[in-house]
Amino acid sequence: MFKGKNVLVAGGTGFVGANLINRMLSLGANVRATLHRRDAVIADSRIEYVKADLLAMDDCRRVVQDMDYVFLCAANTSGAAVIASTPLVHVTPNIIMNSQMLEAAWFAKVKKFVWLSSNAAYPPSGDRPVREEEMFDGDPYDIYFGVAWMKRYTEILCRLYSEKLKERMATVVVRPSNIYGPYDDFDFATSHMMSATIRKVVERQKPIKVWGTGDDIRDLIYIDDFIDALVLAAEKIGTFDPVNIGYGKGYSIKEILQICLEVDGYDDAVVEYDSSKPSMIPVRLISTEKAESVLGFKARTDLREGIRKTMEWYRAHPCT
């Protein structure tokens, strides 16, 4: 599908974007990728890098020109600390960016627009894996209220372009669980739980300080598996039909940390849990049945193997 096609990876220096660029090159695509504040992390002469601020409509129009497929991986993202202290930081910029990129792609007659939503936008479901059709069954968790409704609103926009306009643009919406792996953000100021935990273990921090009680449950998918699913979704889904992408099993933060310690041989670690610090959703599990039936996708990398690979990569690319 992608061989010889013009593919835009918006957010080419980000975690998903960098890994997607590598995959698109391997599939023979003509890759254009956007840069904003950071320099390119994938060095390859086949990539057309374009400096752009996707909050500026003119830049959005420029980067989508002549593209067959657009993957919008650019986003304003960070971890629990930033969301807790500045709850609007992920709302307004992302709404503007998502809206403008969709409009620009539609006017440029892009064949298919692929966008990453979030499992955090779902309403509470207790300890039961949540299904795709439940997204609008109730309000999301309060801690995610702003960013969750931003995601929901962009999904509605994707549906608009895919179903409600006379000239339609196919939009593909995936709702990932927690992704981890090479090229993740390991900066403690903005990182998510998994990358922060891996860095603390590799750097032999003592004590290892963990926000919350460690009882929160997460579904974690390794980046290579997620990219597999993302490409399958782009190939097989032709209209607005959101799909969850995850590993299909939950682990507590305590279990995740223990596996990290075992994999890296950190036998004398001291762990301190701080329940006064903000944590996020106590349990978030997503149903992966639709991904299996519609895409034929099932994650292959178990947590222990994914952690080992990520630790090896981080040792070779330590956070500076």
Ramachandran class of 292: left when φ > 0, alpha when ψ lies in -120 to 50, beta otherwise: alpha
- Report residue 77's pLDDT band, with 50, 70 and 90 as the boundaries: low
Residue 210 belongs to some domain of the structure: no
Q: Which residue has the higher pLDDT, 286 or 319?
A: 286
Q: Label the pairing between strands 271-274 and 208-211.
A: parallel
List the one residue out of 170, 256, 164 whose CA is nearest residue 210: 256
Half-sphere exposure of 293 (CA within 13 A, CB side): 6
DSSP-assigned letter for residue 134 = G
Angle between helices 303-316 and 193-202 (to 10 degrees): 60
**Structure tokens given for 64:** 């989508």
pLDDT of residue 212: 87
Q: Which residue has the higher pLDDT, 319 or 179?
A: 179
pLDDT 10s digits, 3-62: 999 999 999 999 999 999 999 999 999 999 999 988 899 999 999 999 999 999 999 999
* 3-state DSSP assignment of residue 310: helix
Model confidence at 282: pLDDT above 60: yes
Cβ 227 vs Cβ 24: under 8 Å: no
Total domains in the fold of the chain: 1
pLDDT 10s digits, 210-269: 988 999 999 999 999 999 999 999 999 999 999 999 999 999 999 999 999 999 999 999
C-alpha angle with apex 260: 317 to 193, nearest 5 degrees?
A: 75
Question: How far is CA 103 from its chain centroid?
Answer: 22
- Report residue 82's pLDDT band, with 50, 70 and 90 as the boundaries: low
Model confidence at 86: pLDDT above 80: no
What's the rounded Cα separation, in Å, for the pair 129 and 227? 22
Beta-carbon count within 10 A of 265 CB = 7
pLDDT of residue 315: 95
Domain holding 171: CATH number? 3.40.50.720
Residue 157 belongs to some domain of the structure: yes
Residue 295 belongs to some domain of the structure: yes
Model confidence at 79: pLDDT above 70: no
Residue 260 belongs to some domain of the structure: no
What's the rounded Cα separation, in Å, for the pair 98 and 45? 28
Residue 264 belongs to some domain of the structure: no
Model confidence at 155: pLDDT above 60: yes
pLDDT of residue 211: 86
Beta-carbon count within 10 A of 245 CB = 30
Residue 142 belongs to some domain of the structure: yes
pLDDT of residue 189: 81
Cβ 135 vs Cβ 149: under 8 Å: no
Question: Which runs of consecutive H residues, i.e. helices, occur in 161-302?
Answer: 193-202, 223-236, 253-264, 289-290
List the one residue out of 73, 134, 70, 76 whose CA is nearest residue 105: 70
Residue 261 belongs to some domain of the structure: no
- Report residue 276's pLDDT band, with 50, 70 and 90 as the boundaries: confident
Q: What is the mean pLDDT of residues 197-204?
A: 96
pLDDT 10s digits, 109-146: 999 999 999 999 999 998 999 999 999 999 999 988 99
pLDDT 10s digits, 161-174: 999 999 999 999 99
**Range(s) of the domain holding residue 65:** 6-180+220-249+286-300
Beta-carbon count within 10 A of 187 CB = 14
Residue 49 belongs to some domain of the structure: yes
